[in-house]
A and B are shown apart, each in its own frame.
Chain A
Amino acid sequence: MATAKARTTSAEVQGLSGQLPEAVLSRVSDKLGIPAGRLSRMVEVLEQVVQEKGDTDSIVEKYKADKSALIQILLEIQRERRWLPKEVLTSVCEKLGVPLSRAYRIATFYKAFSLVPQGRHLVTVCMGTACHIRGSPRLLDKVVKVVNVNPGETSADQKFTLETVNCLGCCALGPVIVVDGEYHSNPSSNELEGLVAACD
């Protein structure tokens, strides 16, 4: 959903790396003194940055840069990128005409946001009352052991983020664990290990 402008730029950049003849790549790399592999990688990163900027811009546009939609905009960016980079907060606030302090306030107040990159796989354990009575603290202990991450943290290899949530509304199925958006009711230790092993 990139805006027309971003799409064009992105296409131009994308066209570049895909079509950069080897000869041109190696000549440029010689001139700049940068290894061809690294040069190629740099162009890839540039593509990605342009693509992501396009996404952020398009999200802001979708909400017509309405100040009151700040939280909604941040929610969508968090979902796309799995975190809220500083630069994105600055750019969104500029476009909306709100102080940067408000974005920090919101991003650190709500559980949905992360100011550091989250893992590729999000594991959530429900700690609501009904789940608590049915043993969610023990389930959490088991999960911590299996994914080797503490609640609220991300593994060093950025594979897993483990969160606790205060109620998912599936109280009759407790204790509940969610892995990448899939809900599971009262998993056994074996089932847990299977779920985690299935995450690459």
Chain B
Amino acid sequence: MAKLRSPADLEKKREQIVSKRDPSKPCITICSGTGCHALGSDKLHEAIVTEISKNGLRRKVDVRRTGCHGFCERGPVVVIFPDETCYLGMKPADASEVISKTFVEKQLVERLLYKDGSGASVALEGEIPFYKHQTRTVFGNNRLIDPKSIDDYLAVGGYSALAKALLQMSPEQVLEQVKRANLRGRGGGGFPAGVKWETTRNAPGDTKYVIVNADEGDPGAFMDRSLLEGNPHVVLEGLIIGAYAIGSHEGFVYVRQEYPLAVSNLTAALGQARDYGLLGKNILGSGFDFDVTIHRGAGAFVSGESSALMTAIEGMVGEPRPKYVRTAVSGIWERPSNLNNVETWANVPLIINRGADWFTGVGTAGSKGTKIFALVGKVNNTGLVEVPMGMSLRDIIYKIGGGIRSGRRFKAVQTGGPSGGCLPESLLDLHVDFDELTGAGSMMGSGGMIVMDEDTCMVDIARYFTNFLADESCGKCIPCRAGIEQMLEVLERICAGKGEKGDIDLLEEISDVVRDASLCALGQTAPNPVMSTIRYFRDEYVAHIEQKRCPARVCKALVSYFIDPVKCSACGICLRNCPADAISGGKNLVHIIDQQKCIKCNTCFEICPTRFSAVLRISGEPVPAAPPLGTEVARKKGKQE
């Protein structure tokens, strides 16, 4: 690849690439993010290529492996251009039918299309409700490009913002645009990026660093993974523009090692950018030098905290520092260091190309632009969602998410990861932006949005998050290390049926100290999951403590399994599948669970056919006496009741 030595070279190259591509030529795209990969997109790709060959279509139809589309649960996702027909959950065995129906018979394969609530199918990707209500400004290019191809990125306009910034704007002008756009950090802090850039730029010292925080440790969040895997160049482009504005010549990308595909796609992207002269010395002939090193994490959530991350880049253990001086002034090796999240950097090329005024036209007064959320849990349509700031929780969960799955009822939505909180149904009309959720005791955070239904126990959720934080606490400071340990102990007692009067007050007392005295944000926000669930779901805590009852029937120690003799039809499925051999019964004989042997694994409850629904989960009440052995069923096999 010849180096591009000027914006004119870049545009010539771009034209060269685009002129060789015919937008009306059919192209089958296969999503190849980690999610679809886990569902077999590799084998699917092979099968499709084979079928194309078999049908003699190699010259007529392109096949492209793209970045993550976001509709992860329905993967593998296949979109056929130019019509943009979308097939979901396609398997290698479907390849032959899809190819022949699409290109020979010119028909749709109905069974692979999205079906809405009424059963009607939706063929166009853009019409699927999950996508229809989104505004995929940042994420949208993922579906059009092969992340391993810089040429694909150039074809959709990539690096034009970089050329504009380096050759048509001064660093101050670039900074001005980002400040005016009011781009706030997408990693959770929401700090105005332009202000941080300016602080770093003005801090004393000639050597400055820019950093991409791709540690994404919040469980339930995978926005950054998909961006970095699916379009590494947009992040890189934003980073180089930022470095130019700040006056930095050396950048770092800190990626967690649990994201191997992101690491490898990014490594390839850096190599390609260097080959084209978009990274390295004298970029595009501007005289600006800049290069990037990748630094992998090694399995610690706390290392995503900015001072901890910088310490890890220095080669020491990634623990937070107890300083009150901003890292923008004193960061890596005490030099000014500007750290921003992956999604924040990805917004920069857009701001430069379309201008701050365009950017501020979207969103709310205090939160401009769009935000990518990971909508997961008990909704029908789970995956990555990009919407303008200010959309309500209700719209996101119901319009885009398609509501609660399996006909259950909404109970709570958890936002902001382990630093955030749970919000109940009464707050569904809150607008999602940086400030509105904080007032209610949660926070928008990095974008994790976990929907919970009536089968979720909120005390168990608080225990889950506290356990996570106990595992991830670095242990340096006493309030976080010991405070979280003690909060966990209380929560575990409560879930084990050993809750005591005064436990809620104790949790609140410990929370105050952990929040006020901890060294870093992990400890300072650790009480949030507990405090927000106590605030909105206090009755569940009271039920666990005073009645030894788990309303959601989750906490094993408080739940007993019982087969209703009236409903049991002796089908034998639960008996055969019980891992503890705790169920006795026989043909036409009521099945009985031996309470001493039962390990509360929930298998019988899940496996009992819905039409019988004979397994009951009992909590807070005595288990009814089992019928005598040998009792016959009311409904016999084969007979209707």
Which chain A residues have a beta carbon within 8 Å of chain B's beta carbons? Answer: 66-72, 74-75, 98, 102, 105-106, 109-113, 127-133, 135, 138, 141-142, 145, 165-174, 176, 181, 183-185
Interface residues of B (CB under 8 A from A): 34-35, 37-39, 72-73, 75, 216-222, 225, 257-260, 295-301, 312-319, 374, 376-378, 382-383, 414, 417, 448, 450, 452, 456, 464-465, 468, 471-472, 474, 579, 601-602
Q: How far is the CB of A95 from chain B (nearest CB, A)?
A: 13
Complexed CA–CA distance, A70 and B375 (Å):
37
Q: Is the CB of B317 within 8 A of A105?
A: yes
Partner of A71, one of B312, B377, B414, B417: B312
Contact of B38 among A111, A113, A176 (CB under 8 A): A176
Instruction: State whether A75 and B298 are in contact (beta carbons under 8 Å apart), knowing that A165-B258, A166-B471 are contacts in the complex.
Output: yes
7 contacts across the A-B interface (CB closer than 8 A): A71-B298, A75-B257, A133-B377, A167-B222, A169-B222, A171-B382, A173-B75
Q: Are B72 and A109 in contact (CB under 8 A)?
A: no
Given contacts A72-B296, A111-B298, A129-B219, contact A170 B35 (CB under 8 A): yes
Question: Do residues B35 and A172 form an inter-chain contact, with CB atoms below 8 A?
Answer: yes
Other than A66-B315, A128-B220, give 18 A-B pairs with Cβ distance below 8 A: A70-B316, A75-B257, A105-B316, A106-B317, A130-B220, A133-B452, A142-B579, A166-B472, A167-B217, A167-B218, A167-B220, A167-B221, A169-B34, A170-B38, A171-B374, A173-B35, A173-B38, A176-B38
A106 contacts B298, C-beta separation under 8 Å: yes
How distant is the Cα of A39 from the Cα of B506 in the complex, in angstroms?
A: 67
Candidates A109, A167, A181, A183; contact of B317 at CB < 8 Å: A109
Q: Chain A residues with Cβ under 8 A from B319's Cβ?
A: 109
Q: Which residues of A sit under 8 angstroms from B295, Cβ to Cβ?
A: 71-72
CA distance A127 to B219 in the complex (A): 8
Contact call A141/B601, Cβ cutoff below 8 A? yes
Q: State whether B448 touches A112 (Cβ < 8 A).
A: no
**CB within 8 A of B299: which of A70, A112, A131, A174?**
A112
Residue in B75, B225, B450, B579 whose beta carbon sits within 8 Å of that of A129 in the complex: B450
In the complex formed, the residue of A with least CB distance to B71 is A172
Return the contact of B73 from the options A67, A72, A74, A173 (Cβ within 8 A). Answer: A173
Determine how close the nearest CB of chain A comes to the CB of B83; give it in whole angstroms. Answer: 26
Chain B residues whose CB sits within 8 angstroms of the CB of A169 once the complex forms: 34, 216, 221-222, 225, 258-259
* C-alpha spacing A166/B472, complex, angstroms: 9
Provide the bound-state CA to CA distance between A72 and B258, in Å.
Answer: 14
Query: Are A184 and B468 in contact, CB atoms less than 8 angstroms apart?
Result: no
User: B456 touches which one: A106, A113, A133, A184 (CB < 8 A)?
Assistant: A133
Chain B residues, Cβ within 8 Å of A131: 219
What is the minimal beta-carbon distance from A132 to any residue of chain B, in angstroms?
Answer: 6
Say whether A172 contacts B301, CB under 8 Å: no
Task: Give the contacting residue for B300; candidates A67, A109, A184; CB below 8 A.
Answer: A109
Q: In the complex the two chains form, what is the Cα distance from A16 to B457 in whole Å?
A: 66
> Residue of A at shortest CB range from B475?
A109
Looking at the assembled complex, report how far the CB atom of B448 sits from the nearest CB atom of chain A, in whole angstroms. Answer: 7
Pick the contact of A102 from B72, B316, B377, B472 — CB < 8 Å? B316
CB–CB B376/A171 < 8 A: yes
List the B side residues contacting A71 at CB < 8 Å: 295-296, 298, 312, 315
B37 touches A183 (CB 8 A): yes
Q: How far is the CA of A169 from the CA of B300 in the complex (A)?
A: 15
Pairwise interchain contact A112-B298, C-beta atoms closer than 8 A: yes
A68 with B317: CB separation less than 8 A: no
Enumerate the 5 nearest inter-chain pairs by beta-carbon distance, A residue then B residue, closest first: A111-B299, A128-B219, A183-B38, A172-B72, A169-B222
Q: In the bound complex, do residue B579 and residue A145 qualify as a contact, i.e. CB atoms below 8 Å apart?
A: yes
Contact indicator A185/B39 (Cβ below 8 Å): yes
Measured CB to CB, the closest approach of chain A to B479, in angstroms, equals 20
Distance A109 CA – B320 CA, assembled complex (angstroms): 13
Q: Which residues of B contact A167 (CB under 8 A)?
A: 217-222, 258
A111–B299 Cα distance when bound, in Å, is: 5
Chain B residue numbers with a CB within 8 Å of A135 are: 602
- Chain A residues contacting B222 (CB-CB under 8 Å) are 167, 169-171
Whether B452 contacts A168 by the Cβ 8 Å rule is: no
Q: How many angstroms between the C-alpha atoms of A70 and B298 in the bound complex?
A: 11
What are the residues of chain A within 8 A of B318 when measuring CB–CB?
109
A70→B316 CA distance, assembly (Å) = 8
Which residues of chain A are within 8 angstroms of B602 by Cβ–Cβ distance? 135, 138
Q: How far is the CB of B131 from chain A (nearest CB, A)?
A: 15
Instruction: Tell me the bound Cα distance from A133 to B295 in angstroms.
Output: 32
**In the bound complex, do residue A171 and residue B317 qualify as a contact, i.e. CB atoms below 8 Å apart?**
no
Knowing A112-B298, A166-B217, A167-B217, the reply to whether A129 touches B414 (Cβ < 8 A) is yes
In the complex, what's the smallest C-beta–C-beta distance from B265 to chain A, in angstroms?
14
User: Which residues on the A side are within 8 Å of B465 (C-beta)?
Assistant: 129
What's the least CB distance linking B463 to chain A, in Å? Answer: 10
Residues of B within 8 A of A138 (CB): 601-602
B334 to chain A minimum Cβ distance, whole angstroms, is 14
Q: How far does the Cβ of B45 sit from chain A's closest Cβ, in whole Å?
A: 16
Which of chain B's residues have a CB closer than 8 A to the CB of A106?
298, 316-317
Nearest opposing residue in chain B for A69, CB measure: B315
Residues A166 and B301 in contact, CB atoms below 8 Å apart: yes
Q: Which chain B residue has the least Cβ–Cβ distance from A134?
A: B377
Q: How far is A184 from B383 in the complex, measured between Cα atoms in Å?
A: 17
Contact between B38 and A110 (Cβ–Cβ < 8 Å)? no
Q: Look across to chain A and name the residue whose beta carbon is closest to the beta carbon of B34.
A: A170
Residues from chain B with Cβ under 8 Å of A66 in the complex:
315
With A and B bound together, what is the CA distance between A176 and B38 in angstroms? Answer: 9
Q: Is the CB of A166 within 8 A of B219?
A: yes
Q: Which residues of B contact A132 (CB under 8 A)?
A: 219, 464
**B73, B220, B452: which has the most chain A beta carbons within 10 Å?**
B220
Residues of A within 8 A of B374 (CB): 171-172
A170 to B456, CA, bound (A): 20
Chain A residue contacts of B472, Cβ below 8 A: 166
Tell which of B316, B414, B468 touches A166, judged by Cβ atoms closer than 8 Å. B468
